[in-house]
Amino acid sequence: MRLDSRQEAALQAIAESFIAQHKGDPVKALKEMIVLNGHLQERIDAVGAPRRAAR
């Protein structure tokens, strides 16, 4: 995935903010992000499952 400099700067700011919310601990922030992504993937799978089954 390639980002232009504007996108990279925005992503960097969001990442720094997320890490700051975890008292500056990037490992804690990463662990929470993994958990959040897992929850989102479960929701996506649940919403997408009926459409896939109907095909």
Q: Using one digit for the tens of pLDDT, what is the confidence trace for 16-33? A: 999 999 999 999 999 999
Range of the domain at 28: 5-54
Cα dihedral sign, 22-25-28-32:
positive
pTM here is: 0.67
Q: In total, how many domains does the chain have?
A: 1
What pLDDT, on the 0 to 100 scale, is given for residue 1?
80
* Residue in 18, 20, 16, 12 with CA at minimum distance from that of residue 32: 18
